[in-house]
Each structure stands twice: as structure tokens, then as C-alpha cells.
Amino acid sequence: MDYYEDLVVGRKSSYGHYEVTREEVLEFAAKYDPQPFHLSDEAAAKTHFGRISASGWHTCAMTMAMMVANMKENRQAGLGSPGMDELYWLKPVYPGDTLRVESELLEKRRSKSRREMGIMKSRNTVFNQHGEPVMTMIANGLIAVRDPGAPIED
């Protein structure tokens, strides 16, 4: 199990394999982002997308699925997230695309108010099967500290 103390700033990782299906794009859009270009071939053809594309929020959800699978596989003592600093959708995600994630740990620090947790910041870039970045985000994560009694460095 990896804890706060095991995190190395600058460490990079690559993970995930998510196949985007038309059925899932339509289902997500109908429920959460029912804009015409996510639901209709005809409407999408009249936009800069050219065809049905996944909602950006769907891209976030697919990315989250890959992140959680990676945390489970690599046994990280994650405690959730207080949010994002940046989120950019760079290119449309289409049915038939296959997504993957590259992550770099940018910084880490101990919580001064909650000694049992640390806070980490990472840059996550999502790529399609052509190696094109489709989304970036700076994510903040909470992670358990192995030794909450250890001094907090400044």
C-alpha cells in the first residue's frame, strides 16, 4: 500500500484503457448533458464536432474510472479529492476512441489541520488512440499518512 510518505514528486505514470462506445456516449448525454450534438448525428454534423462526440463531463467520468482502477491495482491509500485546479477539454472524444492517462505528481504536502492525511497535486493528461491529448486536469488528492505522529515539514 502506498501512503503519503511513498509519493515522489516528479514521478510519472501511464495507465488505463477505456474504449468509448456510441451506446455509452448516448446514454450519458441523455441523462447528464442532453445537448443535440451529443445525441443526434444530424445535429452533430452541423457543428464543428462533425459527428456525435462524448460530453466533456463523460470524458471526466471515463478518466475517473481509469484513475480508480489504477489506484486499486497499485494499492494507494487515497482518501478522495477536494477538487480540481484546472480542467481543459482539448479535442473531442468520439465513439470508437480508446483513452489512456498519463499522470505526473507535481507536489505534495501534509495537512496541518488533519495530521492523518496529505494533499497531493498531479497533472493528468488523457490521450486518444492516436496519442493526441484530449483532456488535461490538475487534480488535488487526499492520501493517508502512514505515521500521523511524524513531524510536519514546512
For 52-86, the DSSP string reads: ----HHHHHHHHHHHHHHHHHHTTB-B----EEEE
Domain coordinates of the chain in residue numbers? 4-144
Task: Summarize pLDDT for 115-133 with one digit per residue, the tens.
Answer: 889 999 999 999 999 999 9
In this predicted structure, what is the pLDDT of residue 154? Answer: 53
Largest CA distance in the chain: 61
Query: Is 17 strand, coil or helix?
Result: strand
Section 42-66 average pLDDT: 96
Task: Quote the CATH superfamily of domain 4-144.
Answer: Hotdog Thioesterase (3.10.129.10)
Task: Summarize pLDDT for 72-99 with one digit per residue, the tens.
Answer: 898 888 899 999 999 999 999 999 999 9
In angstroms, the CA 80 to CA 70 distance is 14
Q: Inform me whether the pLDDT recorded for 36 exceeds 90.
A: yes
Query: b/e per residue, 40-56, with b = 16+ CB within 10 A?
Result: eeeebeeeeeeebbbbb
In this predicted structure, what is the pLDDT of residue 112? Answer: 85
In angstroms, the CA 125 to CA 63 distance is 9
Query: b/e per residue, 97-115, with b = 16+ CB within 10 A?
Result: bebbbbbebeebebbeeee
In this predicted structure, what is the pLDDT of residue 54? Answer: 98
